[in-house]
Amino acid sequence: MIHQDEEQKEDSIGRSSRAETVPSGARLKPLLATVTVGAIVWFIPPPQGVSSEAWHLLAIFIATIVGIVVKPLPMPAVALIGISATVLTQTLDIKQSLSGFGNPVIWLIVLAFLIARGFIKTGLSRRIAYFFIALLGKRTLGLGYGLIATDLVMAPAIPSNTARSGGVIFPVFRSLAKAYNSEPETGSARRIGAFLAITAFQGTLITSAMFMTAMAANPLLVELAAELDIEITWLGWMLAASVPGLVSLAVMPLFLYWIYPPEVKETPAAAKMARDALTRMGAMKRNEWIMLFVFLLLLTLWIFGRLVEIHSTTTALAGIVILLLTGVLKWEDILHEREAWNTLVWFAALVMMARFLNELGFIPWFSEAVSQQMSGMSWIAAYLGLSVVYFYSHYLFASNTAQVSSMYAPFLAVTLAVGTPPLLAALTLAFFSNVSACTTHYGTGAAPIFFGAKFVEPLTWWKLGALLSLLYLAIWLGLGICWWKLLGLW
């Protein structure tokens, strides 16, 4: 049963992470809103100390962000129009406008999407899920931990919480709920389905915060921080997130089990069902072994690559080469991975604009102006306040990428301007760019997948999200700060 349901779901990472169906041509009202906002900013005289080029680029950047939020066209199309606008208005030359496509971090996330395809194509992701369900699934709480453990193992190599949820976690969750007759239509959602749905969703947000390659916008954060001369490495990100992340993964299911308990506590049949699924799959196949080898190689080099001067993108390229040479992936698989190529376009546009906003002087001007306004405030108070405001601002966004694109760089600049240690500021906002999506049923791509199954009512989803947000803030700004002190981040 699990096997059949999951095969129907995991035909493509690109399809499992599709977010929108857009009619032919641009949607008129969102397009007018996008152009209007950009035009207003364009024609406002720039403040003293800001060049006209920097101000015009800011107008194009803001219009691009508005377009990403209101969606007159799919996000890559909006980003491509933004790139074109920088050239057509002669704000930047053609080489500058296209410079984002040569960024190695952008190619890291593209390659990670392609590697993720290997996990699903070979069935290795499904085998890992069954393993954890068989190991931990004798109780409903254990099923929750089993889904989370699967997500945690997949997160470093699948850079989309939507893809992990839709292609790996959700099909297994849905089969488990069905096996225990937990269905919204029959009024039995609370048997085990509602608890597992909210647990799995919250888990994917935490795992997304734990690795640079676990969410598509995370490398964008790294590039935005780099524009302010802050270097975030794969290993540095993982180490900083490890303690608060693992504690969050351990505590969150227990917290939900206490405030939103399932009706059925014992689930021995689930463990048996997973063992039966593993039996049907048989021994690991050749391609699964190759995929496992590549995965372990990637993790090893991402962690220790700096010691031998191997760039993380070089590591990802090597992984793709192995998968192609061994036939685990075919060139057709590469071409069909639409989400990777979509990411390349919007990522390149935003990174390019952020870079030249800094080079043309707008970001330094903005930081200095805010620093003068906040003079006299201790950096600790400002850092905590800005972090909390950034966290809860996600109520206004329907994607992690939209929040990161519009708010990360200015919030980071302000946090630095008040004296916050650079790496502490950059990583805290990076982590909160992921876990802040806990609050609503629309805040990230994984949310509609689990919410759309209708196991949890909207008001309940929001209440649980609000309570969990307080739990996460206590862990990441409490225990996390202590851990980051030990790491020397401040």
DSSP string, 376-402: TS-HHHHHHHHHHHHHHGGGG-SSHHH
How many other C-beta atoms lie within 10 A of the C-beta of residue 148? Answer: 24
The sign of the dihedral angle between the CA atoms of 372, 374, 376, 379 is negative
pLDDT class of 375 with cuts at 50, 70, 90 = low
How far is the C-alpha of 8 from the C-alpha of 266, rounded, in Å? 28
146-175 pLDDT, tens per residue?
999 999 998 988 877 887 887 788 888 888
Question: What distances in angstroms separate CA 161 from CA 104, 222, 459, 489, one per listed residue?
Answer: 22, 18, 23, 27
pLDDT in the model for residue 269: 84
pLDDT surpasses 80 at 4? no
pLDDT in the model for residue 355: 81
pLDDT in the model for residue 14: 43
Position with higher pLDDT, 81 vs 359: 81
User: In this structure, are residues 249 and 203 in contact, taking their beta carbons and an 8 Å threshold?
Assistant: yes
Q: Please compute the mean of the pLDDT values over residues 32-42 and round it to a whole number.
A: 94
CA nearest neighbour of 428 among 440, 416, 418, 444: 416
Q: What is the pLDDT of the chain when averaged over all its residues?
A: 87
How many other C-beta atoms lie within 10 A of the C-beta of residue 79? Answer: 26
pLDDT in the model for residue 19: 42
CA nearest neighbour of 157 among 8, 2, 320, 274: 320
pLDDT surpasses 80 at 242? yes
pLDDT surpasses 70 at 62? yes
Q: Please compute the mean of the pLDDT values over residues 427-447 and round it to a whole number.
A: 91
Of 6-10, 197-201, 288-292, which gets the smallest average pLDDT? 6-10
DSSP 100: G
pLDDT surpasses 80 at 187? yes
User: In this structure, are residues 379 and 90 in contact, taking their beta carbons and an 8 Å threshold?
Assistant: no
3-state secondary structure 277-308: HHHHHCCCCHHHHHHHHHHHHHHHHHHHHHHH
Q: Please compute the mean of the pLDDT values over residues 28-49 and round it to a whole number.
A: 92
74-84 pLDDT, tens per residue?
888 999 999 99
Query: Which backbone phi and psi does 486 adopt, to 5 degrees?
Result: -65, -35
Beta bridge partners of 139: 266
79-129 pLDDT, tens per residue?
999 999 999 999 999 999 999 898 887 787 788 788 888 888 898 888 888
pLDDT surpasses 90 at 55? yes
How far is the C-alpha of 186 from the C-alpha of 108, rounded, in Å? 45
pLDDT in the model for residue 270: 84
Of 94-103, 308-317, 331-340, 408-417, which gets the smallest average pLDDT? 308-317
pLDDT in the model for residue 371: 66
pLDDT in the model for residue 17: 43
pLDDT class of 40 with cuts at 50, 70, 90 = very high
How far is the C-alpha of 268 from the C-alpha of 264, rounded, in Å? 11
Query: Which backbone phi and psi does 308 adopt, to 5 degrees?
Result: -115, 15
Of 173-187, 230-244, 313-327, which gets the smallest average pLDDT? 173-187
443-482 pLDDT, tens per residue?
888 888 888 888 999 899 999 999 999 999 999 999 999 9
Q: Please compute the mean of the pLDDT values over residues 415-434 and round it to a whole number.
A: 94
Q: Which two tokens stand for residue 336?
A: 């069909």
The sign of the dihedral angle between the CA atoms of 348, 350, 354, 356 is positive
pLDDT in the model for residue 125: 84
Determine what percent of the chain is predicted with pLDDT higher than 90.
46
pLDDT surpasses 80 at 368? no
pLDDT surpasses 80 at 380? yes
